[in-house]
Amino acid sequence: MDRGVAALNADLIGVAGSRAALETPALLLDATAFEKNVATLAGLAREAGMGLRPHAKTHKCAGIAKAQIDAGALGIACAKPGELLALFDAGVASLMLTAPVSSRRKIDRLVQAAAKGCALSVVADRAGLVADYGAAARAAGATISVLVDCDTGLGRTGVTTPEGAVALARMIAAEPGLIYAGVQAYAGHVQHVHRTDERRAVNRAANEGLSTILAGLAEAGLAPKIVTGGGTGSHALDFEDQVLTEVQAGSYVFMDEGYRPVELHGANGPVFDFSMFVMVTIIAHNAKGEAITDGGSKSFAIDGPPPRAFLNGREIGTIAWVGDEFGKLVLPPDVTPPAAGARIECTVPHCDPTANLHDAIHLVRGDRLEAIWPIEGRGLSD
């Protein structure tokens, strides 16, 4: 990285104590917590006999995607063509686009990647999209896998009936250049339901609708090989229910304040650790003596609970926003504000859009900077 804090921090890689010397605002990835999170979910998937296809919308980073694949992931899910193509260019070969598109130019770009070696799978929610993917595949001399997109309660995209799913599956199977691969049913409305019993009820209602669709496909001789969906909030329930064949969890690699209240494994405590932090620096004190930081809404996505602030590994308060570029450290009355120049590590309200605000993520292990990974899909929301 040749610009911004990544360029300023590059010469600190491998230096003892470099974590505390980073220029800020810097997006951090704690290697110990990150590796634990990746290994934990991969192990849970293996124990359940199910696949894992982590979602790159969370991180948009080839370094993270490769670590997930090395741990056993089947491939990587992507929300948008731009981030998928960026990851392919960065050397990630097995990629699934989990949302429909309506642009033939984007379809052509995706299929061209397949012709160059991308193991590409996509979803379709309507006949016209199947026809467009088929025409593009024939023109490029490529073959792509297509899944029927199903809506089981999210209310975003996808068919809702067995008849609709069967009609699309038949059309996919009949198109030269397309392979009918299965179905996608992402129950996004389940993921942040806090209590386990309530989340289980919502997830099972979604799975009842999905099971009806699966039964209709099986009766038509189109039983899907892949049934993909789920996420960080529902992963344990999905492993338990065994309706899906693979889970698309994303946020588990980082965690954020939005997921903190969610009982991911009942009331047994957190199963994943916070691994993403934004490091900021105290740059001044206002007239009230409050510490002002160099990180505001251009460094944190603020659509979630406020960040918790840590000084030398000890939680000392929270961050409030005082501008796009600046934050304010909110401390208990008995805590003295840190001096100017102090580095503060902060959790994030929402990890996915926070990653999208940064060009690079600083991999730290213990007290030192280990590597700087580019976020190849940063800003590619197309």
101-139: per-residue pLDDT in tens? Answer: 999 999 999 999 999 999 999 999 999 999 999 999 999
Burial class (CB in 10 A: 0-12, 13-18, 19+), 117: exposed
What does the pLDDT read at residue 267? Answer: 62
Identify the residue whose tokens are 């505001």: 296
Please report, for the chain, the start and end positions of each structural domain, with discontinuous segments joined by +.
4-29+271-374, 32-253
Task: Report the candidate in 84, 169, 69, 148 with the shortest Cα–Cα distance to residue 120.
Answer: 84
* pLDDT of 291 above 90: yes
pLDDT band for position 181 (50/70/90)?
A: very high
Write down the pTM of the prediction: 0.95
Rounded distance between C-alpha atoms, residue 372 and residue 369, angstroms: 8
CA distances, 56 to each of 70, 84, 185, 282 (Å) = 15, 8, 17, 32
What does the pLDDT read at residue 3? Answer: 86
Q: What is the pLDDT of residues 90-109, one digit of tens each?
A: 999 999 999 999 999 999 99
* pLDDT of 343 above 70: yes
Q: Which two tokens stand for residue 281?
A: 């620096």
* pLDDT of 362 above 90: yes
32-253: CATH superfamily: Alanine racemase (3.20.20.10)
> For residue 229, which phi and psi values (nearest 5 degrees)?
165, -155
Q: Residue type at 176?
A: P
Rounded distance between C-alpha atoms, residue 101 and residue 203, angstroms: 26
* pLDDT of 270 above 90: no
Q: Residue type at 270?
A: P
Identify the residue whose tokens are 């800003």: 379
Give Cβ neighbours of residue 174 (< 8 Å, ≥ 6 apart).
Answer: none
How many beta carbons lie within 10 A of that of residue 197, not counting itself? 9
Residues comprising the chain, all counted: 382
Identify whether the C-beta of residue 37 lies closer than 8 Å to the C-beta of residue 272.
yes
What does the pLDDT read at residue 182? Answer: 98
Q: What is the pLDDT of residues 71-93, one digit of tens each?
A: 999 999 999 999 999 999 999 99
Rounded distance between C-alpha atoms, residue 166 and residue 7, angstroms: 53
Domains 4-29+271-374 and 32-253 share a fold: no
Identify whether the C-beta of residue 348 lies closer than 8 Å to the C-beta of residue 257.
yes
CA 225 to chain CA centroid, Å, is 24
CA distances, 97 to each of 15, 44, 66, 82, 213 (Å) = 39, 24, 17, 10, 21
| Cα three-residue angle 14-19-20, rounded to 5 degrees | 135
* pLDDT of 226 above 70: yes
4-29+271-374: CATH superfamily: D-serine dehydratase-like domain (2.40.37.20)
